Amino acid sequence: MGARLLVIGSTNVDLLATVPRHPSPGETLLGTGGQRAAGGKGANQALAAALQGADVTFVGAVGEDADAELALAGMRAAGVDLDSVVTVPESPTGLAIITVSQDGENTIVVIPGANAHVGVEAATTAVAGMGEGDLLLMQGEVPRATMEAAARAARDADRRVVLNVAPWMALDHDVLTAADPLVLNEHEAQLALAELGLSPDGDSPEAAATALRVAGTPSVVITLGAEGAVAASQDSPTTQVPSPTVTAIDSTGAGDAFTGALAARLLEGDDLTTAVGHAVRVGAFAVQHQGAQPSYPELDAELP
């Protein structure tokens, strides 16, 4: 068997609405949409990686409700191993309420539901089953204790950890510096710098990535939206990787498309800069289509 990607993360149903612009506080706008689709940062990244050819196992939780099968449908169709997904009778399947404006920008409110029950025991058991060359991918929509326990277990077993701390949570320092790479957007990078007590030499993403690397994180990727990403590792200098220029329709889930594709390429043995170069193209593909999971390209898709 080849190397596998273990994803420990959230799975949601996305409720989608489109508006001409985002409303001001207290304002009501008429919108369109109302569709429901599979989502959740963990499920999104697992699906994106599977569509890019990775052999993926997913650890997560859903409610005992009608949303559960919808939330898992995309991963199931892509062949993701869902044997470690648990059903939590006392909690609903996670829900994300997503509003997209005409310029493609979105706001998201996440109601965790069953994702709050993705527990330490399930996560560490899954990590204990990882083989040589396997890779662990996690995000910030499961409990902090679960992320930290899984990251430490993987580090102690000499398994590579890709950590996307989104949404941000103040993880212990040894967990942040166990990530290889630590994947953040510009805002999250500033929070990580503050958490680690770092003062970079300048306010650029390159300076932030360099500071996080020097602090002990083996590698760092800072995503820049339409500008691409910055990558820093032990083996190469800090590098900005540009994104193809495309017309964005909906940015929902594009960061997850990027991170899942990045993990898939790292699993295949790409160096960090090469993997980021592929991931920015996958992200650029995704923003040209509506929704999160429905926008992700398959391996044979023509990328921008």
Cite the beta strand spans of 52-207 per DSSP E: 56-63, 81-88, 94-100, 106-111, 135-139, 160-164, 182-185
Helix (H) or strand (E) holding 259: helix 254-267
Q: Locate 121 and state its tokens.
A: 């025991």
Distance CA 275, CA 267 (A): 10
Residue 115 annotated as binding site:
no
Residue 56 annotated as binding site:
no
Residue 255 annotated as binding site:
yes
Residue 148 annotated as binding site:
no
Residue 119 annotated as binding site:
no
Nearest of 131, 110, 14, 116 to residue 60 by alpha carbon: 116
| Residues belonging to the chain | 304
Residue 238 annotated as binding site:
no
Q: Locate 206 and state its tokens.
A: 């390159």
Residue 253 annotated as binding site:
no
Catalytic residue among 256, 270, 271, 300, which?
256
Annotation marks residue 256 as catalytic: yes
Helix (H) or strand (E) holding 43: helix 41-51
Residue 256 annotated as binding site:
yes
State whether residue 100 is helix, strand or coil: strand
Residue 41 annotated as binding site:
yes
Query: Taking the mean position of all CA atoms in its chain, how far away is CA 248?
Result: 19
Residue 286 annotated as binding site:
yes
Residue 104 annotated as binding site:
no
Give binding residues as ranges: 12-14, 40-44, 141, 185, 223-228, 250, 252, 255-256, 286, 289, 291, 295
**Known binding-site residue numbers for substrate:** 12-14, 40-44, 141, 256
> Which residue ranges are tagged as binding site for K(+)?
250, 252, 286, 289, 291, 295
Catalytic amino acids? 256
